Amino acid sequence: MALYAAAAAVLAGVESRQGSIKGLVYASSFQNVKQLYALVCETQRYSAVLDAVIASAGLLRAEKKLRPHLAKVLVYELLLGRGFRGGGGRWKPLLDRHQVRLKAELARLKVHRGVSRNEDLLKVGCKPGPASQVPRFVRVNTLKTCSDNAIDYFKRQGFSYHGRASSLEDLRALKGKCFLLDPLLPELLVFPAQTDLHEHPLYQAGHLILQDKASCLPAMLLAPPPGSHVIDACAAPGNKTSHLAALLKNQGKIFAFDLDAKRLASMATLLARAGVSCCQLAEEDFLAVSPSDQRYRQVQYILLDPSCSGSGMLTRHLEEPGAGTPNKERLRALAGFQQRALCHAFTFPSLQRLVYSTCSLYQEENEDVVWHALQQSSGTFRLAPVLPSWPHRGLSTFPGAEHCLRASPETTLTGGFFIAVLERVEVPSSVSQAEASAPELTPSPAPKRKKRRCKAAAAPSTLLCT
């Protein structure tokens, strides 16, 4: 069956460091991305268990044409998954021949480890890491609804709303069907870790965006006012682009670039579902975009979130426990591209504010890139001090690096992230000082429940602010 072959190919790609699970799933030709992603993630989660069972049962010795990654996927479906989908094709008879032995080896492994449930096999010898404790952050898409309506909808579904969080401890304590409003971002709802909302009607209707808090910071800190022209330099998969559109209220223009045609196609679907109408997608290398092109003469804001090692991604920690450092050659290549992209962004003549961000933990992709670009800019740009109360700052590798922000599961209860906000020291003559100023952002109060600004929602189609 195509699903199992596709899953095996993704697992092989992850093992050979060709990319992350999410990236390889989107790059595959399998159409049901969600089904493929779920199968690969679960197979990878039980990887050590499956390896032990397959080895003990002698499956690969008996079936010499069966490749290891495909065997792992098939055994997961047989023993731990939903059973073979669509009949299992030619693989079901093969696995049926070994079913009794495989089940016996799984039972023997449970006895040996002193557990009774499949899930308990994951807990033996390891404790849940910080990544597994990160809450589920949900951004309310203000192009389609507002926080009050979303909160009311969840309350009618039996969730308990506890207001605006006051500390990280409030977020850590979330359990069951409870949720909070984030203390910093006014449109960000926070649910307990592992809450699954992929099937929720508000998500499927584009009223909610499942987006980690750290990933919401770049657009928030760029803060383009409605009517602005913005470049999203490396835009796919599009969550940050949709956030920019919400901040712009669909007024203005977003020029979004990415080289991957498949990712752009998925991004177009995401943006359409989110109600974004101010974005122009282009399958183009940002480094090849000319700053002198008249289409970009009014671009004053750039969000640059370039390709990186992904070492801070929660999915990387959960999908690839113990994933090692990328080799030095790859890290140098990534940093070189990131430096070129940032220096190129500085050459747009009307640029006044830029956010550089990565989901990397490595200094080479973060502080070193920013410091290199600042030196190349000859004093034209500087680091802007933002969010002074943010607990995790940039590494002290150069003067002013403390203005950069870092994030991690341990310190901020988010994915690993890096953000630097850079602003032009001298505003171009074609841009007024009023236009150039961007507000310093402070935590917003929770929505007031007595003075309602939005109509209560009965269904996703009626979740529109008035």
191 CB contacts (<8 Å, ≥6 apart)? 135, 136, 137, 138, 174, 178, 179, 197
Q: Are 243 and 216 a contacting pair, CB within 8 Å?
A: yes
Q: Which residues contact 122 (CB under 8 A, 6 or more apart)?
A: 45, 46, 49
What would the DSSP string read from start to end of 378-440? Answer: TTSEEEPP--TT-S-B--SSSTTGGGSEEE-HHHHSS--EEEEEEEESS--TTS-HHHH--PP
Half-sphere exposure of 289 (CA within 13 A, CB side): 31
The partner residues of 209 in beta bridges, in order of sequence, read 139
387, HSE (Cβ side, Cα atoms, 13 Å): 23
User: Residue 327 to residues 22, 307, 318, 331: CA-CA distances in angstroms?
Assistant: 20, 16, 21, 6
Residues ≥6 apart with Cβ < 8 Å to 432: none
H-only helix segments in 28-175: 33-45, 47-57, 59-62, 68-79, 91-96, 99-113, 147-156, 168-172
Residue for token digits 């049926």?
Answer: 96
CB-hemisphere CA count at 13 Å for 145? 30
Catalytic residues, by residue number, are 359
Q: How far apart are CA 171 and CA 63, in angstroms?
A: 49
Closest by CA position to 138, among listed 156, 120, 154? 154
Distance CA 408, CA 419 (A): 12
Q: 258 exposed, middle or buried (CB, 10 Å; 0-12, 13-18, 19+)?
A: buried
Asked if residues 22 and 37 have their Cβ atoms less than 8 Å apart, the reply is yes
Single-letter residue type at 100: V
CA distances for 329 relative to 173, 369, 370, 393, 418, angstroms? 42, 16, 20, 27, 21
Q: Could you count the other beta carbons within 10 Å of the beta carbon of residue 305?
A: 23
